[in-house]
Chain A
């Protein structure tokens, strides 16, 4: 489903974001990426749908190279990848329905989308997605009137409306309280099991990672230092992932760089 071939990311200041990563993620897996902040989790995840460009190697989605895709081909591949963000990234002023429908824009012509004309089928799909995350009654409310947990559910519904083949989630629960965390993670697990949807989730919390993942990948300074089943991820393994980083200063530098680049990319 997803294949990393010799993938490296070197930032212009010479720091390695990702270091020669080779791995394969199969259909229906629930993969959790763990690591310290600055270990390259976000870079790893966002390189899958090419929100981040990589500097070396190639990434394949269903045997198609997203690294070499251009224009419409790239948009077509991205359409099959749903994404959930730490800060939900909803359009606050639009209704929940419209936010969910925006997951469908990749399926229609530009002109049709400028006019904002969605077919009836799309609206049904959007309602169904909202039903799957248990908030169909919020469809006509403005997105910013919902609580954090509900907003994250809207963003999950938006990803579902895309009818994706896999879903990426970048720290989906980092800005939620523990109660909401459980609900949102349960939603993701249910979607993974009911629809056999491949999930790749960034988390920094070990307990949540153990509870939901069937495979855990540990990143440290851009390198894969652990890759195995959730029950193989012992405390010792986590100590290795989270252990004292040998180049603390370098990691700090990259953290800052990532933040700058994230703001620059919007």
Chain B
């Protein structure tokens, strides 16, 4: 029985693979492919160092700083916006099933949109630029943060709440002393994690015109200025790695 089952599962998986690979167009290298690839690599190894800092106009450092600012501001907005949602979506805090259901629905509704789609919408709404990027990341992160934090709220130990009630604390004080201290470390940890994600997302947002380092990147790509592409990529790699490293170190201290 189990042997028949195992064989039939293996057959099914094999069929799916064959079907998937059959659907692939034949991989075909253009004549220029090799040339372009070698140009990109030579650009990466011979970056345009002059672009790193240019007191007169746009340069790499300013672009990266813009990106960082978009990510930081977006995360900050999300951190504030997600708080009411995450508590309203926790069924151990809010007794009304309707409120919990609606809040959970709003959070998953926001999560449906990829950051890029949100950014496109906001570019239409507020015009291209960093502000659209900030709004996209700020709203987009609420979905994920709200879900994670509400799950953390739902797992708190409510015995302490009983003890606080018994000391004569009103519901607000009880909440501040029995629930908040249990959620706070997770809260900061999630916010930092989302900041890491946002930094990566913000580098891409510029490509569609929502501010940050993506804009000079797409310009350099379109004029095949590989040395500049190289230096921008190096800058992004360095910034993202550094931020992941620092934020990871800080997050480790929270748990």
A interface residue numbers (CB < 8 A to B):
49, 51, 72, 74-83, 85, 87-94, 98, 102-103, 105-106, 110, 113-114, 116, 155, 158, 162, 265-266
Set A85, A89, A91, A106: member contacting B181, Cβ < 8 A: A91
Q: How far is the CA of A82 from the CA of B163 in the complex (A)?
A: 9
B170 near A83 (CB under 8 angstroms)? no
21 contacts between A and B (CB under 8 A): A51-B162, A51-B166, A76-B168, A77-B168, A81-B168, A82-B166, A85-B162, A85-B163, A87-B159, A89-B163, A91-B160, A91-B178, A91-B182, A93-B184, A102-B167, A105-B167, A106-B169, A110-B173, A113-B172, A113-B176, A162-B168
B167 near A110 (CB under 8 angstroms)? no
Q: How far is the CA of A82 from the CA of B164 in the complex (A)?
A: 10
Set A72, A75, A114, A266: member contacting B158, Cβ < 8 A: A266
Residues of the A chain whose Cβ atoms lie less than 8 Å from the Cβ of B172: 110, 113-114
Question: 1/0 per residue B225-246: CB within 8 Å of A?
Answer: 0000000000000000000000
A75 near B168 (CB under 8 angstroms)? yes
B159 near A113 (CB under 8 angstroms)? no
Residues of the B chain whose Cβ atoms lie less than 8 Å from the Cβ of A88: 159
Cβ-based interface call for B99 (8 A): no
Cβ-based interface call for B113 (8 A): no
B162 near A90 (CB under 8 angstroms)? no
Residues of the B chain whose Cβ atoms lie less than 8 Å from the Cβ of A162: 167-168
Q: How far is the CA of A128 from the CA of B88 in the complex (A)?
A: 39
Residues of the A chain whose Cβ atoms lie less than 8 Å from the Cβ of B178: 91, 102
Cβ-based interface call for B28 (8 A): no
Q: How far is the CA of A102 from the CA of B177 in the complex (A)?
A: 7
Cβ-based interface call for B161 (8 A): yes
Q: Known A92-B182, A93-B185, A113-B177; judge A78-B160 contact (CB<8 A).
A: no
Residues of the B chain whose Cβ atoms lie less than 8 Å from the Cβ of A103: 167
Set B92, B157, B160, B163: member contacting A83, Cβ < 8 A: B163
Residues of the A chain whose Cβ atoms lie less than 8 Å from the Cβ of B167: 78-79, 82-83, 102-103, 105-106, 158, 162
Chain B, range 66-95, C-beta contacts under 8 Å to A: 92
Instruction: Output the least CB separation between B186 and chain A (Å).
Output: 10
Most chain B beta-carbon contacts within 10 A, residue among A51, A93, A98, A114? A93
Cβ-based interface call for B165 (8 A): yes
B168 near A106 (CB under 8 angstroms)? yes
Q: Known A93-B182, A93-B185, A110-B172; judge A105-B158 contact (CB<8 A).
A: no
Q: Which residue of B lies closest to A107 (CB)?
A: B168
Q: Which residue of A lies closest to B158 (CB)?
A: A266
